Structure 1
Amino acid sequence: MIVPRYRIALSRIPQAGQGLYLDEPVARGAVIIAPDKVHTVWPESRLRACAADSIEVESSVRWFEDWFSLTPEWSDECYVNHSYAPTALWHLGFIFALDDLPAGTEVTMDYRYVIGDGERMPFADSVTGREIVGLPWRQVLADGARRLLDLSA
């Protein structure tokens, strides 16, 4: 569920396709996206039994530990693009504004938080050229919790 008003338009990130843009300002720390309609959660071992280009793999994000939520209906939340300088923080399925975001801001996040430990995205970051490799779960949990705590201060 995307909380603020938004629109989908061509991303400003090179080679990213479409992006999700805010149509209203969002305050630092506010929830931009909250999980809803999570009807399928699989362990990573089951997910990795699928082909890399399968709908299951393509529509999955790590939710917690080695469990992934699958959203094959491709909601607009799928238009949140990767950035190493993100505007938002993913934490336990929620996406929070990392700063006061004016209307017109593209919502981006660091994909390393939502892919498996050591998993490599099939593309590099188009701005920096850096590879995108999933972080260990404990690091994702600790980093996200620390950053979320900083947002509440």
Structure 2
Amino acid sequence: MALINPHINFNGNAEEAFTFYKSVFGGEFKQIVRFKDFSSPEFPIAKEEENKLMHIALPIGKSNVLMGNDVPEIMGKVNENENRSKISISAESKDEADKLFNGLSAGGSVEVPIADSPWGSYFGMFRDKYGIEWMVDYDPKYKGQVQ
């Protein structure tokens, strides 16, 4: 079965955001590539952008990877207040759902507090301090499996 691995664009703070995500999820970065790693006469990189991230990957769980990058200024800014697609996390327990919800929502804005939902799962929704929208769900019928 195909996996869905979210990829998020940032305006120069991808490394800060991913360091925060790593503090919540744990694990180690699988890959960090900076723009300067690809600088060449054909692909020159501005001095102020050379340490920005072209690609970063953080494995989460057994088969998921959260990926991201900084958008070079010559390509314009990412609208951090747009209605982005949400990243959905299926937790394996209520405790894990609480840990992820509380950790990732720190400094952000909660849209739906985590609680028992009318459809029978334990669910919450928020925008983190970097503007990324998340949903955390624990359904005892699925126990962290794709629903």
TM-score range, shorter chain: under 0.3
**Alignment TM-score, normalising by the size of structure 1:** 0.23
- With structure 2 as the length reference, what TM-score do the two structures score? 0.23
Higher relative contact order (CA 8 A, sep 6+): 1
